[in-house]
Amino acid sequence: MPVYSGTYIPNFESFYSTAEREEIDDIALRVIYDLTVRIDTLVRHDRIVAETGSRYTSFYSLYLRELSKNHTDRNRRTSYEWMDSCSVQYSAALYVDLRRRILEECVLLPNIDNLFHTYDEPLPAIEWELDDAVCGILGYRCMKARCSFRGREWSVWYAPDLPVIAGFWKFHGLPGMVLAAKDASGEYSFRAIGIEKPAEPMLRYKVPSRKMSRERVQKAARTVYNNPIDSFFAETGQNYFVTLQDGQPRLITHDQCSPIPYNPLELE
């Protein structure tokens, strides 16, 4: 009996297809990163966007958003050369309310169509260790800092000439925008490849979701990645079919599906 790996699990194209757009701020700074993720022997890439405003920040996968736009608008078939080497590695959207110091993350789990898990939490405390090391990224002089955050040891490079205190993921408190970040294991690495100051609104995509604690979202994610077929059946009550190269649908059973590699940004 053939065993199928998690690579056949459907992509995340519908992430924004049911979303209601809301303008929440004006973008003061947008940074685009290349994200490199190493899971087992695999190396994958994503394009990540961090946006900052006076009241909010947002953090999301540009690849996921472009896929979703094509999925929602059947007449739109926009493609970029960089998309050929990317896949969704950050299947979420993160918003930080700077005034209330609250963050909200909306997470889409694979194999469960249009099912979102949302949680909010106070902006987490981070203790930074500043370093005298200096480097240049996209013409900006950057300083080094380190922190330990939820199971990973991070080294980051921030630009004092981009004086924002938040914007990159859940990190905050440095006197400048983070332009590069890498964890000690080498499993996650972000590096800025573009910086913009667009005259555009910051958009928040409101999607139907289950609201729960961060811990429960993490538990749900581990369950889905470890046992994707059973999770799909539990949520939908339907059997899972895939279309193989001969064009015919095949019923996939529990013993034919291996776990999806799972190595989240937050280990704790």
Q: How are beta strands 249-252 and 116-122 bridged, if at all? A: unpaired
* pLDDT of 187 over the 70 cut: yes
Pairwise CA distance, residues 236 & 178, whole Å:
41
User: Is the pLDDT reported for residue 181 higher than 60?
Assistant: yes
Mean of per-residue pLDDT scores for the chain: 81
Q: Rounded to whole angstroms, how far apart are CA atoms 224 and 218?
A: 10
> Are β-strands 116-122 and 210-211 bridged in parallel, bridged antiparallel, or unpaired?
parallel
213's CB contacts (< 8 A; 6+ apart) are: 119
Summarize pLDDT for 72-118 with one digit per residue, the tens: 445 545 555 544 545 778 988 999 999 999 999 998 876 555 567 89
Q: Provide the strand spans (E) within 109-187.
A: 116-122, 129-137, 140-149, 152-159, 177-183
- In whole angstroms, what is the distance from residue 137 CA to residue 146 CA? 17
Model confidence at 7: pLDDT above 70: no
* Residues 195-207, mean pLDDT to the nearest whole number: 92
The neighbouring-strand residues paired with 172 are: 166
Strands 201-206, 210-211: pairing kind: unpaired
pLDDT by residue (tens digit) across 26-60? 999 999 999 999 877 888 899 999 999 999 999 99
